[in-house]
A = this chain, B = another copy of it.
């Protein structure tokens, strides 16, 4: 390692090779304040320097964990003391925008929020949004195929990526940053790297698609009498709003009650006695669309798919409604110790899945809390489970099995948007067949035969 560190210092300069206290001064992630470990954290300033670092590490037989904004949930970027953490933080430039073509070239370390603001200043919109926007980086979001708040309308990060530049395990730079919506010229190599969690290559630059900017949002919180009405409401609203529906965030009663109880700054926007609540948002581009939104809600009230509703009449009210949905901190503090999940399954299987899971958890721990909410329009549920003041590893395993195992039989996924990392790899088998996992291994071997990049993430 020391020889490698000397080579890295010679390559990048001592300031860009952090060791010792400079490494441990950083937390493992947003969610884990424990000190980071790593033989070193290196901070190359260009794609060429990334490639040179890769070549040196490869020659030394020392593996690399690429580091983005460190906001992932699945222990996907946790170097050990025997590894090099390669941070993309200095590759933080928005390089070029083409306003006519509505595309942009960014370096991997650009934070999401910086791109959002830049797009907005050009009257355009980057349509992936998530809570970690200030820290998460576009390279990390590509490597994890990040989802978030507007997937229903625009898709995941994958759907926004037109091209990538990637440093391979050989140190070669494979680049196709063409700003084209359509490009059927052989295998679409970028797709392989998207969602590969840093195991196949290091993403250094991206060509991204931008969209038209809306002029306003219409936002409402509605109460729904039963699950069947929820699915009918989703179909109906999406049809009436012509694809402008950008959020359909469902909160089970217990979730809303918990957040309102827990955090005095939130006020109950509706009675807390309804079984389901949906935060609905549609983007408007024309004033008449506000009328369409209101008339859609009226129709749905008449049809009794909605039994109560509050419509935000100001930006402040919109933010107050979203603040309830987005208050993850009140869950992480109020439910500690807890386990959080991010699963997906077909909408028609959700009600039974949640009911059965809650029952199974309470059969073990009658006082357990099972808090459920999520991007229902995307088939994605987030679960927070708290069984009491203590949580052993063994209990954790039991709960994991209770959550993940039933997904196999209802065609669900153990990870809708967060990825696998190290945390969920024992459960990958519930969503992917042995043959699929074997093909993943073959791809890993093809692109990274020496297991240089993030070894052990996703699968062994």
Contact = CB atoms under 8 A, between A and B. Distances in A.
Interface of A: 98-103, 123, 144-145, 147, 151-153, 155-156, 158-159, 172-189, 191-192, 194-196, 200, 211-214, 231, 235, 238-244, 283-286, 288-289, 291-292, 295-296, 344-348, 375, 378-380, 411-420, 428, 431-433, 435-437, 439-440, 442-443, 446, 458-459
Contacts of A98: 346, 348
Contacts of A174: 433, 435-436, 439
Nearest to A291: B288
Contacts of A295: 286
Contacts of A413: 178, 180, 182-185
B180 A345 contact: yes
18 contacts: A151-B182, A176-B433, A178-B412, A180-B346, A180-B379, A182-B344, A182-B413, A184-B413, A184-B418, A185-B414, A186-B428, A187-B458, A188-B191, A189-B440, A191-B194, A212-B239, A288-B291, A443-B446
Contacts of A173: 435
A176 B437 CA distance: 12
Max count, chain B CB within 10 A of own CB: residue among A194, A286, A346, A443: A286
Nearest to A377: B181
B180 A443 contact: no
A145 B188 CA distance: 10
B191 A242 contact: no
A417 B181 CA distance: 10
Contacts of A283: 242
Contacts of A191: 188, 191-192, 194
7 nearest A-B pairs in the assembled complex, by CB-CB distance: A191-B191, A242-B285, A182-B416, A212-B239, A183-B413, A185-B431, A100-B231
